[in-house]
Amino acid sequence: MNNRENDNYSILDLCKFVLCFAVVAIHTRPLEYCTNNWIINLYEAIVQLAVPFFFMSSGFLLEMKCHHISNNNSSDIINRRLMRIGKMYIVWTIIYLPLSIFLGVRKDLPVVKMLSNFILGLFVTGEQQGAWILWYLLGTFYSLFVLLLISKSRYGITWKKLIMIVSVAIVLVMMMSFVASYNGESQVFELARKISQTIFTSGRIFKGFIYVPVGMLIYRYPIAKWKNVILLTVGFLGCILLLENPLSLLFNIVASVGLFGLLTGISLKKRKIYLLLRDFSTTIFFVHLYVRTFFCFAVYGEYTFGMECFIVTSTISFILAVINSIMRRTNMNMSFNC
């Protein structure tokens, strides 16, 4: 049962700002030239907590809104959220289209191949050339679509239905992860591996079906602090020790749940700075791949990785986020004064 006393979760905005730099790190690989395996495993275990946190935040906040509906009808809220994510996905796909075409031309890809990749990315993988972040929006969209359908069914979105979605998604992702890691000589498994990697990106697109419902469940049924500590500790250690093993996905889920449960138990005073950080994190999340591409090709003529790439990409993306925030507030003030 939900026994939360208030709905002030400024901690989510603060954590999103911090973890958006973990997303930048995933794409720029600051430890690319590090040779210490323990440091690399620790780093990977940390940054892999970022995307699950964003997914769970969506589910958590969605459930928070649905919780306050007097008529117990959550369909309208889910539908509005679904439309918002859908519009964002279309807009950012269009924004990244010139970059995708540029990278496709540099690789000498035929027009037919570029078109087929675009269609596959648009509807299935959520990825385009140079725009690997878009899969997060598509994964969220599909998970919300399923939740919308379930909300209109008998009894609505029950905890049993959420558990069922999570369980099926975990099985699918685990199966595809095992197939993707297969190194045998079986032609059947080799074909399955190529399909899993090419079409379903090794099951990554289904992760929204895991973490969005989990976020909803955490809002409904808060986990005790000591349990979250155990989940985070066990999951984090499992991620470090089994980093290259498909089973690390299960430990990543456990660690992500523990971390999110701990953080949502922290209450911060409402301050405007957290709203600013929310805006900053959104901008950084969506523009950093453009920034990285411009930097790499302007300086090196190709994609590079390393600490320099991470620092430059993070810094410029943050500056753009600040400029965007100032411009938005200036425009709002001008409209209010007219």
SS3 131: strand
Per the structure block, which two tokens stand in for 35? 């040779």
Confirm whether 160 is domain-assigned. Answer: yes
CA 106 – CA 111 distance, rounded (Å): 12
Indicate the pTM of the whole model.
0.92
**Is pLDDT of 333 > 60?**
no
SS3 43: helix
25-56 pLDDT, tens digit per residue, is 999 999 999 999 999 999 999 999 999 999 99
Q: Which of 284, 255, 309 is nearest to 42 (CA)?
A: 255
CA 306 – CA 29 distance, rounded (Å): 5
Confirm whether 2 is domain-assigned. Answer: no
pLDDT of residue 289: 96
**Is pLDDT of 72 > 80?**
no
Per the structure block, which two tokens stand in for 109? 């890809």
Confirm whether 76 is domain-assigned. Answer: yes
Confirm whether 35 is domain-assigned. Answer: yes
Confirm whether 5 is domain-assigned. Answer: no
Q: Which residue has the higher pLDDT, 100 or 194?
A: 100
Task: Determine the distance from the C-alpha atom of residue 197 to the mean position of all C-alpha atoms in its chain, rounded to a whole number.
Answer: 18
pLDDT of residue 335: 41
CA 256 – CA 228 distance, rounded (Å): 10
pLDDT of residue 247: 87
Confirm whether 115 is domain-assigned. Answer: yes
Residue 111 lies in domain:
10-337
Written as one letter, the residue type at 181 is S
Among 44-58, 97-111, 170-184, where is mean pLDDT lowest? 170-184
Mean local confidence (pLDDT), 262-283:
92
222-260 pLDDT, tens digit per residue, is 999 999 999 999 999 999 998 878 888 999 999 999 999
Token pair 């089973």 is found at 247
pLDDT of residue 334: 43
Confirm whether 66 is domain-assigned. Answer: yes
Number of domains in the chain: 1
**Is pLDDT of 185 > 90?**
no
**Is pLDDT of 60 > 90?**
yes
Q: Which residue has the higher pLDDT, 15 or 9?
A: 15
Mean local confidence (pLDDT), 103-124:
92
With a CB cutoff of 8 Å and minimum separation 6, the contacts of 276 are 325
Confirm whether 3 is domain-assigned. Answer: no
300-329 pLDDT, tens digit per residue, is 999 999 999 999 999 999 999 999 998 887
pLDDT of residue 319: 97
Q: Which residue has the higher pLDDT, 190 or 309?
A: 309
